[in-house]
Amino acid sequence: MTFAQNITQTAQAYFAAADRHFEDEEPLLAYENIWYAASHALTAVAEQRGWPTDDDRALKTAADRLANEASDHHLRHQYAVAQQFRAKFNHGFVEPYQLADYCRLMREFVARMVALLEEDGPVVSLSAHEHAQAARVCLQTADTEFASGSATQGSATLWQAATHAITAVAVQRGWPADRLQDVKAAADRLAADTGDAAIAAGFFAAQQFQANSRHDFMEPDDIARGLPLVQAFVDRVLALLDD
């Protein structure tokens, strides 16, 4: 299990605990677990980059620094909401529609932190065959997630399918594939070497889905147009593998 996968699993456990507390009408305990999920993910990113994480001020600084680096004020807003969960909204009543929106923001924030961990950290060390298998599994899983209405999770899984496919070819050809930046470079190289426009178009579509996993901006029509492009991309790339 990679560091990013470990953080994802831990955050999901906190979110699951929060859901149970909401069901048991224990909102203050639910708020606490949601804060733990967000702060745990942010702390992981900060520690991976060598930033201080000793106290609340250090975490706030880390969130501001990430927002500045990405020119993303939405990230700063998400962390401000996380702090409200920690303060338990000053023990005040929160409207159900507001709470649902705030919880969604926290899941998006954690997904964004995990994406940053994956970008900064090494790609999972697997064989070309294992990456190819993972790509096919991720494609099937993404279809199921989209069908169930989980657009952000489906987008994240579809992006994983694309990166596994490219990494499979890169590993087999001896190209660098230790980091996601290497994988992106391999996709460009493969598109140039083959002259296959579908590879370039498919990887661009995959990157759009990666962004959608963070910001949930794609409409159903966008997903319907992009999904076949990524599916074709994965099929074409895996077809380039030597038997």
Last residue of a domain, one of 120, 153, 181: 120
Distance in angstroms (rounded) separating the CA atoms of residues 191 and 193: 6
Rounded to a whole number of angstroms, the CA Rg of the chain reads 19
Is pLDDT above 80 for 8?
A: no
* Structure confidence at residue 168 (pLDDT): 93
Asked whether residue 64 falls in the same domain as residue 144, the answer is: no
Asked whether residue 111 falls in the same domain as residue 147, the answer is: no
DSSP string, 219-241: -HHHHHHHHHHHHHHHHHHHHTS
**CB atoms inside a 10 Å sphere around CB 209:** 27
- 19-58: per-residue pLDDT in tens? 999 999 999 899 999 999 999 999 988 888 888 888 889 9
Asked whether residue 103 falls in the same domain as residue 187, the answer is: no
Q: What is the pTM of this model?
A: 0.54
Asked whether residue 100 falls in the same domain as residue 54, the answer is: yes
- 219-237: per-residue pLDDT in tens? 889 999 999 999 999 999 9
- The token pair that represents 62 in the structure block: 């880390």
Element (H, E) at 46: helix 27-48
Q: What is the largest CA-CA distance in the chain?
A: 62
Distance in angstroms (rounded) separating the CA atoms of residues 142 and 146: 6
- 193-208: per-residue pLDDT in tens? 999 888 988 999 998 8
Asked whether residue 144 falls in the same domain as residue 115, the answer is: no
Residue 108 C-alpha from the chain's centroid: 8
Q: Do 53 and 43 meet the contact criterion of CB atoms below 8 Å apart? A: yes
Give me the chain's average pLDDT, please.
87
Q: Do 37 and 108 meet the contact criterion of CB atoms below 8 Å apart? A: no
Is pLDDT above 50 for 2?
A: yes
Q: The domain containing residue 158 runs over which residues?
A: 128-239
Is pLDDT above 90 for 212?
A: no
- 132-144: per-residue pLDDT in tens? 998 998 898 888 8
- The token pair that represents 39 in the structure block: 């702060």
Average of per-residue pLDDT across 77-81: 93
Asked whether residue 213 falls in the same domain as residue 176, the answer is: yes
Q: Do 159 and 209 meet the contact criterion of CB atoms below 8 Å apart? A: yes
* Structure confidence at residue 243 (pLDDT): 53
220 Cβ neighbours under 8 A, 6+ residues apart: none
* Structure confidence at residue 132 (pLDDT): 92
What 8-state DSSP symbol labels residue 25? T
Domain total in the chain: 2
Is pLDDT above 60 for 187?
A: yes
Name the more confident of 49 and 188. 188
CATH number at residue 107: 1.20.120.330
DSSP string, 122-158: BPP---HHHHHHHHHHHHHHHHHHHHTT-HHHHHHHH
Asked whether residue 145 falls in the same domain as residue 97, the answer is: no
Name the more confident of 13 and 61. 61
Single-letter code of the amino acid located at 60 = K
Asked whether residue 140 falls in the same domain as residue 182, the answer is: yes
**CB atoms inside a 10 Å sphere around CB 65:** 14
Q: Do 202 and 162 meet the contact criterion of CB atoms below 8 Å apart? A: yes
